[in-house]
């Protein structure tokens, strides 16, 4: 029973990261109309930036968090004109081409991380960030600082985004664009500026996720982005593309399922089992469990 | 022939075939990355059959084609008419699952891989020549089949599906059936490529089948031009050759270079270098010249 509880706690914290990533991903999908497959790679890049800042500032966590957020926002906003140009070229919203473009961006980021940082070897974050001792330990159940932080920030950030989307004017603008871009333009919503705001917002979210992921895992590697990217896209598809509430449920469920599989099955088969379950859901319900909101 | 030239010719050929394997389903707007998983599955299967069970290479190659086609067909039953992003995620999932499976199966060398595969012909030179002839014969056959497909009613139906699925349905095109057909054929090609790919190096390792491979094939197809089959013929040797002629320090950044080229082409030449219009102009000019 203790193993079960411990793994559920692990799963909840991991799931909250998936939820945050899926939220940022869906935000870009809904407002900017792009499948930003490289969004998790942007997050992993920000983890590396945080690691560099930690190394050269004597483990200043505040500066590392700021650097992670800044790099994530910058990468997102810099890529915005490229996506906009593709849309303009085709004179229509072409989600598939944006996905190809994003895969290209992902290739570049992953390779830069493979060559430009720590000789391509995985990086380890200092104990000051990760936390040396558990906050709480009862038998096999231990609660680390990273787990509490990821859960807390996850809840706050997702609630904040839901509030922003459903209770504020900018949020209404976001949703209007998602519902009908031409209609939104007619009622005076600036599409370009609102789109850029969504890039910046998902960038801020990306920076926060980078720090949380660093706290939770304690390490990063160039290939982490690809692995996470795949899971985030899977969460979004299983939930239904653009479905924020669905992403919340599926992200947490995937985190818990993965942790339980890891807890009870040895070897690297655990990852495959999680992927098989994901695959079955995708194959039998290609439009998602909660419906596509595009 | 030098070893470098042999590798250039064979790997370029594999890139051409694999980008065609991606190109074909993309005619119905499917990015079918399952093909890389097909390469892996068929390659390891053939390696096991030859090395552990003593099968002849030809038989293992046939098994590779069959395995690729079979996996492709079964998966296509579910995603024959799925949206592009679903096809993408299914492809990536299969890559992860098959990689994890190989990692854990000792019979195929697990993380160590399979080394010292037997030669397909008596001497090293004959081995290379056989592989070279085989892979280029395959290009001719697959190229001919794709060319015939493009100039058939089914090929035109695929073009309509790419532009507008609703229009295609109202014109009586069975989107699911068409999707299954192109996905199965592309997986079949990929299965054969996987077998040959390993026998070029006479070894199989998980590092051969990474996401970089997906990136390379995608770059070939989009840089060459995704609206015709001819783009891949030019882009594959050009892109692979580029990494060979660059100084080693720069060549190690080839994925960054490929990614940058891919993005630049998507932004500046959205249809790639060989567009449908250009291919049509060349074809008509050629036929006029032939008549004279």
What pLDDT, on the 0 to 100 scale, is given for residue B248?
A: 87
Residue A91 has pLDDT above 70, yes or no: no
Boundary residue ending a domain (B189, B209, B229): B209
Please give, rounded to a whole number of angstroms, the shortest distance from the CA of A88 to a CA of chain B: 10
The reply to whether residue B29 touches residue A96, judged by beta carbons under 8 angstroms, is yes
Q: How many CB atoms lie within 10 A of CB B267?
A: 16
Complex ipTM over 0.95: no
Q: Taking the model in full, what pTM does it have?
A: 0.88
Find the mean pLDDT for residues A79-99: 74
Residue B86 has a pLDDT of 83
What confidence score (pLDDT) does residue A141 get?
75
Q: Residue A190 has what pLDDT?
A: 86
Separation of alpha carbons B38 and A211, rounded Å: 37
Domain check: are B132 and B248 in the same one? no
Our CA-based measurement puts residue A47 at a distance from the nearest CA of chain B, in whole angstroms, of: 20
Average pLDDT, chain B: 92
Residues belonging to chain B:
292
Q: How far is CA B185 from CA B68, B73, B145, B197, B230, in A?
A: 9, 8, 10, 18, 18
More confident residue, B42 or A156: B42
Handedness of CA B285, B276, B18, B265 (dihedral sign): positive
Interface probe, candidates A44, A89, A111, A266, chain B, greatest B C-beta count within 10 A: A111
Is the per-residue pLDDT at B25 higher than 80?
A: yes
What is the percent of chain A where pLDDT is above 70? 94
Please tell me the distance in Å from B255's CA to the nearest CA on chain A. Answer: 6
Q: What is the arithmetic mean of pLDDT over A205-231?
A: 89
Is the Cβ–Cβ distance between B35 and B22 less than 8 Å? yes
Residue from the list B83, B84, B97 with its beta carbon closest to the beta carbon of A279:
B97
Across the interface, do B96 and A230 touch by the CB < 8 Å criterion?
yes
Q: B248 and B103 in one domain?
A: no
C-alpha distances in Å from residue B238, one per residue of A163, B15, B133, B220, B224:
51, 11, 21, 9, 10
Instruction: Give B89's contacts (C-beta < 8 A, 6+ positions apart).
Output: A230, A233, A234, A237, A282
Higher pLDDT, B146 or A183: B146
CB of B256 less than 8 A from some CB of A: yes
**Is the confidence at residue A294, as pLDDT, over 70?**
no
pLDDT score recorded for residue B279:
86
With a pLDDT cut of 90, the percent of chain B lying above it is: 67
| Judgement on whether residues B151 and B184 belong to the same structural domain of the protein | yes
Token code pair at residue A207: 């920076």
Given B209, B228, B256, the domain boundary residue is: B209
Question: Is B91 in the same domain as B231?
Answer: no
- Write the pLDDT tens digit of every residue in B71-105: 999 999 988 888 888 888 889 889 988 998 898 88
Q: Are residues B204 and B89 part of one domain? A: yes
For residue B122, is pLDDT > 70?
yes
Q: Which helix (H) or strand (E) holds B241?
A: helix B230-245
B129 in contact with chain A, both atoms CB, cutoff 8 A: no
Q: How far is B57 from chain A (nearest CA, A)?
A: 30
Structural tokens at position B3: 């070893």
**Per-residue pLDDT at B131 exceeds 70:** yes
Q: Is A55 on the interface with B (CB under 8 A)?
A: no
Residue A34: pLDDT over 90:
no
Distance (Å, rounded) from C-alpha B218 to C-alpha B91? 13
Kind of pairing between the strands at A219-220 and A123-124: antiparallel
Cβ <8 Å between A104 and B215: yes
- pLDDT exceeds 80 at position A258: yes
Same domain (yes/no): B97, B238: no
CB contact under 8 A, A268 and B222: no
Pair (B81, B194) in one structural domain: yes
- Looking at the structure of chain B, the number of domains it has is 2
Identify whether the C-beta of residue B85 lies closer than 8 Å to the C-beta of residue A99: yes
- Asked if A269's CB is within 8 angstroms of B100's CB, the reply is yes
Nearest neighbour of A100 by CB, restricted to B86, B252, B266: B266
Please indicate, yes or no, whether residues B87 and B152 belong to a single structural domain of this protein. Answer: yes
> What tens digit of pLDDT does each residue of B263-282 get?
999 989 888 999 888 888 98
Instruction: Judge whether residue A150 has pLDDT over 90.
Output: no
- Selecting from A275, A278, A286 the residue whose C-beta is nearest the C-beta of B83 gives A286
Residue A115 scores a pLDDT above 80: yes
Q: Per-residue pLDDT averaged across A21-30, rounded?
A: 85
Closest CB from A86, A111, A279 relative to B255: A111
Q: Are both B135 and B248 inside the same structural domain?
A: no
Q: How much is the average pLDDT of B236-245?
A: 92
A110 touches chain B (CB under 8 A): yes
Cβ within 8 Å, pair B256-A108: yes
**Contact of A201 with A27, CB cutoff 8 Å:** yes
B210 falls in which pLDDT band (50, 70, 90)?
confident
Longest dimension (CA), chain A: 61
How many interface pairs between A and B have CB atoms less than 8 angstroms apart? 121
B267 touches chain A (CB under 8 A): yes
The whole-number pLDDT of residue A274 equals 67
Q: Do B82 and A271 touch (CB under 8 A)?
A: no
Buried b (16+ CB within 10 A) or exposed e, B115-145: eebebbeeeeeebbebbbebbeebbeebbee
Q: Tell me which residues of chain B, numbers 19 to 48, contact chain A at a CB-CB cutoff of 8 Å.
A: 29, 31
The pLDDT value recorded for residue B257 is: 93
Tell me, what's the pLDDT at A92? 56
* Statement to judge: residues B246 and B101 lie in one domain: no
Cα B41 to Cα A71, A119, B62, distances in angstroms: 39, 31, 13
Asked if B163 and B277 sit in the same domain, the reply is no
For the residues B143-164, what does the mean pLDDT come to?
A: 92
Residue B18 has pLDDT above 90, yes or no: yes
In which residue are the tokens 């598809």 written?
A: A237
Report yes or no: A148 at the B interface, CB cutoff 8 Å. Answer: no
Mean pLDDT of A48-53: 96
Q: In terms of domains, do B260 and B205 share one?
A: no
pLDDT at A93: 54
CA–CA separation, A259 vs B262, rounded Å? 37
- B124 and chain A in contact, CB less than 8 A: no
pLDDT of residue B152: 94
Query: What pLDDT does residue A293 have?
Result: 67
So what's the pLDDT on residue B118?
93
| A183: confidence class by pLDDT, cuts 50, 70, 90 | confident
Over residues A247-256, mean pLDDT = 88
Single residue among B184, B209, B234 that ends a domain in this structure: B209
- The whole-number pLDDT of residue A270 equals 66
Cβ-nearest to B85 among A99, A106, A115 = A99
With beta carbons less than 8 A apart as the criterion, state whether B252 and B207 touch: no
Between A185 and A44, the more confident residue is A44
The answer to whether the CB atoms of A237 and B86 lie below 8 A apart is yes
Domain that holds residue B229: 210-292
pLDDT of residue A267: 61
* Cα of A103 to nearest chain B Cα, Å: 8
**Averaged pLDDT for residues A198-204:** 89
Arithmetic mean of pLDDT over chain A = 85
Q: For the residues B185-200, what does the mean pLDDT come to?
A: 96
With a cut of 60, say whether residue A176 has pLDDT above it. yes
A276 reaches B (C-beta below 8 A): yes
**DSSP string computed for A149-210:** HHHHHHHHHHHHHHHHHHHSHHHHHHHHHHH-HHHHHHTT--HHHHHHHHHHHHHHHHHHHH
In this complex, the residue of A86, A234, A271 whose CB is nearest that of residue B89 is: A234
């Amino acid at each position: 029973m203790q193993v079960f509880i411990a793994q559920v706690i692990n799963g909840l914290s991991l799931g909250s990261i998936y939820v945050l990533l899926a939220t940022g991903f869906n935000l870009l999908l809904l407002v900017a109309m792009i499948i930003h497959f490289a969004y998790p790679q942007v997050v992993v890049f920000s983890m590396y930036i945080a690691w560099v800042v930690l190394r050269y500032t004597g483990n200043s966590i505040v500066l590392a968090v700021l650097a992670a957020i800044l790099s994530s926002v910058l990468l997102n906003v810099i890529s915005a004109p490229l996506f906009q140009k593709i849309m303009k070229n085709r004179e229509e919203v072409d989600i598939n081409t944006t996905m190809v473009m994003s895969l290209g961006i992902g290739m570049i980021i992953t390779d830069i991380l493979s060559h430009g940082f720590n000789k391509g070897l995985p990086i380890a974050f200092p104990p000051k960030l990760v936390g040396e001792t558990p906050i709480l330990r009862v038998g096999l159940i231990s609660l680390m600082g990273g787990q509490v932080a990821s859960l807390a920030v996850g809840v706050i950030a997702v609630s904040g985004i839901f509030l922003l989307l459903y209770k504020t004017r900018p949020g209404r603008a976001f949703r209007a664009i998602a519902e009908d871009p031409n209609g939104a333009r007619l009622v005076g919503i600036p599409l370009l500026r609102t789109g850029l705001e969504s890039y910046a917002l998902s960038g801020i979210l990306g920076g926060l996720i980078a720090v949380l992921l660093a706290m939770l895992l304690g390490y990063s590697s160039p290939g982490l982005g690809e692995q996470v990217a795949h899971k985030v896209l899977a969460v979004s598809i299983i939930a239904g593309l653009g479905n924020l509430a669905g992403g919340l449920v599926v992200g947490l469920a995937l985190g818990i399922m993965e942790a339980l599989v890891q807890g009870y099955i040895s070897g690297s088969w655990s990852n495959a089992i999680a992927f098989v379950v994901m695959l079955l859901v995708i194959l039998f319900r290609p439009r998602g469990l909660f419906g596509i909101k595009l | 022939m030098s070893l470098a030239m042999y590798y250039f010719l064979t790997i370029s050929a594999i890139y051409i075939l694999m980008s065609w394997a991606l190109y074909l389903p993309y005619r119905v707007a499917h990015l079918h990355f399952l093909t890389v998983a097909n390469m892996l599955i068929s390659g390891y299967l053939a390696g096991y059959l030859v090395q552990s069970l003593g099968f002849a290479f030809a038989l293992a190659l046939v098994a590779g084609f069959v395995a690729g086609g079979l996996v492709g067909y079964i998966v296509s039953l579910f995603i024959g008419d799925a949206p592009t992003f679903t096809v993408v995620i299914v492809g990536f999932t299969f890559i992860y699952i098959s990689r994890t499976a190989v990692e854990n199966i000792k019979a195929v060398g697990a993380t160590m891989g399979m080394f010292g595969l037997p030669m397909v012909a008596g001497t090293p030179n004959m081995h290379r020549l056989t592989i070279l002839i085989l892979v280029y014969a395959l290009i001719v056959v697959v190229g001919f089949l794709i060319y015939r497909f493009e100039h058939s009613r089914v090929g035109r139906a695929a073009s309509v599906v790419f532009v507008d699925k609703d229009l295609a349905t109202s014109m009586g095109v069975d989107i699911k059936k068409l999707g299954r057909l192109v996905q199965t054929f592309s997986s079949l090609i990929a299965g054969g490529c996987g077998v040959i790919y390993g026998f070029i190096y006479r070894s199989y390792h998980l590092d051969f089948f990474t996401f970089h491979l997906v990136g390379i094939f995608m770059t070939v197809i989009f840089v060459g031009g995704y609206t015709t089959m001819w783009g891949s013929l030019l882009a594959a040797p050009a892109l692979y050759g580029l990494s060979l002629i660059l100084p080693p320090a720069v060549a190690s950044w080839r994925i960054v270079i490929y990614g940058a080229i891919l993005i630049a082409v998507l932004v500046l030449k959205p249809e790639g270098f060989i567009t449908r219009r250009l291919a049509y102009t060349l074809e008509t000019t050629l036929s006029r010249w032939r008549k004279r």
